[in-house]
Amino acid sequence: MTVVLVLLCLAIAGRELYLAFERKRSPGAPEIADIRTQLRALKGTRDELEGFRAAQRERLDALAREQDSDREALGEADARIRSLIAQINDRMVPDVNDRLNRQREAADLQRETVERLAAEVAGIRAHLVGRLDQAVAASLGAGPADVVAGSLTARPPAGRHGLTGPYEGFAERHGLRVELTDGDRYYLSGRSPRALEHDFLDLVRGLCANRADSFENVRPLLDALRDTGRGTARLGPLLVVRTPESVVCGVLPLAELLRPESARILDDPESGTRRLRRLPHGRVCDLTASSGRAPSG
């Protein structure tokens, strides 16, 4: 009986101790439960974060692919633009350059035309001043000024420019000055036609005699005429004609220069040559054979 009571007391004491222990431990259970809840929430958040990271990674990959695609599209567009620019340059730049060159040539031609017109106006002004001076001198009793006609032609016309200097130099050596030019026509003053006829007859006789001084006088003009295919140089009664077959010079009678049709006939190389060959001896000289022969002293 005593043993039973002791065991019963021990059982009661153990139960009280267990209850006391449980009472001490029970206040921490809600915290543990809360921690467990937080852990579960954290686990869910981590899963969501992993899912978000995966979604963002996929989005970044998609953006990278789109960027690569855009870069390729931009490269293709840039290549097409460069190709179009090259095609435009190949087609338009030569045309633009050609137009610019034509405009530049037109501007140069206009400038040359203006300069030529300015020179002609200055020449006309000087001619008018000279005429007024002659009129003043005539009013004081001086004789009228002598004026002779001349002409210069070349076939093809491009050779005309090379004749101008030698022709005007030849006229100046014979005491003539250019008063006015009109195309191929020349009007010169300073010597009378009769005095020129006398000088030119001496010149033709000297050429026929192969005198060096006569050739030296006319050499620049002859050389310039020989450089043309066909041409004529007329100075008062003197006519020098170049054809592919011959070079002939002669002195025309002054009366023949009064005929209206003379200028047209004499400015044609073939007609001029035929007319010169009909002149009497002493008025004409065939210089064809003398072109390569040195004149004698």
Q: DSSP labels for 108-177? A: HHHHHHHHHHHHHHHHHHHHHHHHHHHHHHHHTTPPPPPEEEEEEEEESGGGHHHHHHHHHHHHHHTT-E
pLDDT value for 241: 94
202/211 Cα distance (integer angstroms): 11
88/94 Cα distance (integer angstroms): 10
pLDDT value for 172: 95
Q: In the predicted model, is pLDDT for residue 83 greater than 70? A: yes
pLDDT in tens, 215-238: 999 999 999 998 888 999 999 999
In contact, 180 and 123? CB cutoff 8 Å: yes
What's the pLDDT band for 152 if we cut at 50, 70, 90? very high
pLDDT value for 173: 94
pLDDT in tens, 9-27: 777 777 677 666 666 555 5
258/7 Cα distance (integer angstroms): 181
Query: Residue ranges per domain, the chain?
Result: 48-145, 146-286
What's the pLDDT band for 87 if we cut at 50, 70, 90? confident
Q: In the predicted model, is pLDDT for residue 292 greater than 50? A: no
Q: In the predicted model, is pLDDT for residue 159 greater than 50? A: yes
pLDDT in tens, 67-81: 888 888 888 888 888
Q: In the predicted model, is pLDDT for residue 5 greater than 70? A: no
Averaged confidence pLDDT in the chain: 82
How much is the pTM? 0.58
pLDDT value for 29: 58
